[in-house]
Chains A and B, each alone.
Chain A
């Protein structure tokens, strides 16, 4: 149900201090790893999608910043012939909420790792995963779960079956609901129905540690996805030995959130019992080429507003600050 009265939370004392402390600590972590801050303007003038907070500045329709990645990409594509390889950001974005409990003003800290097209991206993906693994400790979360996914696991079979448009959207929506029976319903009568349903069942059969990758064996597209599976396996081999205590690594083969944007590995950070993910990111190699720049990129965003809510509703999930 659309929210008619957007809410703009006021942060009083405790949460305000927590926001300041977390922003500082996270930006410190990113700076220590070579990420330099960029601060795109709060007011954006180009391509204003639905859900943005729009208003007239004289005769011009403008919007409040709704997404840091998009804002930064525009800024970099316009002003930099060669992009900085590591950028970080902190501040608020403004979006009309999809769910009634979401705020309009949302505080975020995040980073982007940008490379020229053609350069190997594996090390950059690992660098981002390692950084994300450090974040629960910086925030004082007692325990957390990192979900590792890969956009190609769904995208590639759909493309191989030449499934686009509404039908592909219906399959993605069914996977997002973790409902293989909905995949079957959506593709009723389609020649690829049986194959894609079997693939959906394989993707959804497990949500566990590294052994989850084995579920791909039973997919009709196992061969097509061999390289992507190898990529995930190598990432797991690199990450598991350095997993901090109290951080669990899970493989989520059916992660389709943001599938229209992500092109490679995806990362999502959860706390046990949290209703929403606390950080999310992944590889998105199509954004800069769409802006006319031959660059590839990956990044993640820590959703501080959700963390502030979680600290209020589930303080037991956090260490008490000294």
Chain B
């Protein structure tokens, strides 16, 4: 593949599961056979445009470095990583809340009153920003997955995590105590690629926006 091939980085996981069906039938539909395989670079229905399937936390790095020219990633990940890339559109899907969650019965006042509050989270930057705004201090327990277990097993008093339907929280006896922010899928672009070749990147970006906005 020549370096002139355009690469779009798509996230695996929750956002990816929503995204692939939205692209079906469009000029950027992902090759169904390749999707069934274990390959991570998937041709699209447009020659010269391929997709990379990446973990959300790695995706901004590929785009910021210009390896992929465009990408789709949750705004929660963007806010945590603060990479130098362009954010061309809020695609609207994948909407969820970044929330403080604690065991049922625990209120915000009870958490505030704790002399040594411990918060487990995959989002330390957003959590720190909220703590600063609220003039609170807490010990942050950084986790990379299954944060819901932390309050149950005594690793933390509460968690700051993404909540979409609340099903996982309920399954672990947790409740949403406070909404700290909101997240949704964003279309990102490599700064260099976009500014030096807008005639190549902008039409592709517009096709992606149209594909995602056309489907509910």
A, B in one complex: yes
**Chain B residues within an 8 Å CB radius of A272:** 196-197
Alpha-carbon separation in the docked complex, A271 to B196 (Å): 6
Q: Confirm or deny: B86 has a beta carbon within 8 angstroms of a beta carbon on chain A.
A: yes
A147 near B195 with CB under 8 A, answer yes
Q: Confirm or deny: B198 has a beta carbon within 8 angstroms of a beta carbon on chain A.
A: yes
Q: Confirm or deny: A131 has a beta carbon within 8 angstroms of a beta carbon on chain B.
A: no
**Helix, strand, loop or mixed for chain B's interface?**
mixed
**Chain B residues within an 8 Å CB radius of A270:** 192, 195-196
A207 near B198 with CB under 8 A, answer yes
**Chain B residues within an 8 Å CB radius of A268:** 195
Among residues 66 to 125 in chain A, which have CB atoms less than 8 Å away from a CB atom of chain B? 98-99, 101
Q: Confirm or deny: A274 has a beta carbon within 8 angstroms of a beta carbon on chain B.
A: yes
- Closest-by-CB residue of A relative to B192 is A275
**Chain A residues within an 8 Å CB radius of B88:** 178-179
Given contacts A99-B64, A101-B65, contact A273 B196 (CB under 8 A): yes
Alpha-carbon separation in the docked complex, A274 to B189 (Å): 14
Alpha-carbon separation in the docked complex, A207 to B193 (Å): 13
Given contacts A101-B65, A179-B86, contact A273 B195 (CB under 8 A): no
Q: Confirm or deny: B194 has a beta carbon within 8 angstroms of a beta carbon on chain A.
A: yes
Alpha-carbon separation in the docked complex, A314 to B194 (Å): 17
Q: Confirm or deny: A252 has a beta carbon within 8 angstroms of a beta carbon on chain B.
A: yes
Interface residue range, chain B:
20 to 34
A276 near B86 with CB under 8 A, answer no
B140 to chain A, nearest CB (A): 18
Encode A125-144 as 1/0 by CB contact (under 8 A) with B. Answer: 00000000000000000000
Alpha-carbon separation in the docked complex, A99 to B191 (Å): 13
Encode B76-110 as 1/0 by CB contact (under 8 A) with A. Answer: 00000000111111100000000000000000000
Encode A178-195 as 1/0 by CB contact (under 8 A) with B. Answer: 110110000000000000
Alpha-carbon separation in the docked complex, A272 to B65 (Å): 16
Q: Confirm or deny: B211 has a beta carbon within 8 angstroms of a beta carbon on chain A.
A: no
**Helix, strand, loop or mixed for chain A's interface?**
loop
Interface residue range, chain A:
20 to 34
Among residues 144 to 198 in chain A, which have CB atoms less than 8 Å away from a CB atom of chain B? 145, 147, 177-179, 181-182
Q: A181's contact among B65, B89, B195, B202, by CB below 8 Å, is which? A: B89
**17 extra A-B contacts, CB within 8 A, seeds A181-B90, A272-B196:** A147-B195, A177-B86, A178-B88, A178-B194, A179-B89, A179-B90, A181-B89, A182-B87, A207-B198, A208-B198, A270-B195, A270-B196, A273-B3, A275-B66, A275-B190, A275-B192, A314-B3
25 A–B contacts, CB within 8 A, in A order: A99-B84, A147-B195, A177-B86, A177-B87, A178-B87, A179-B89, A179-B90, A179-B186, A181-B87, A181-B90, A207-B202, A252-B195, A268-B195, A270-B195, A270-B196, A273-B192, A274-B192, A274-B196, A275-B66, A275-B190, A275-B191, A275-B192, A275-B193, A277-B195, A314-B3
A-side residues, CB < 8 A to B, are: 98-99, 101, 145, 147, 177-179, 181-182, 207-208, 250, 252, 268, 270-277, 314
**Nearest 6 pairs of A and B residues by beta carbon:** A275-B192, A179-B87, A275-B66, A270-B196, A181-B90, A177-B87
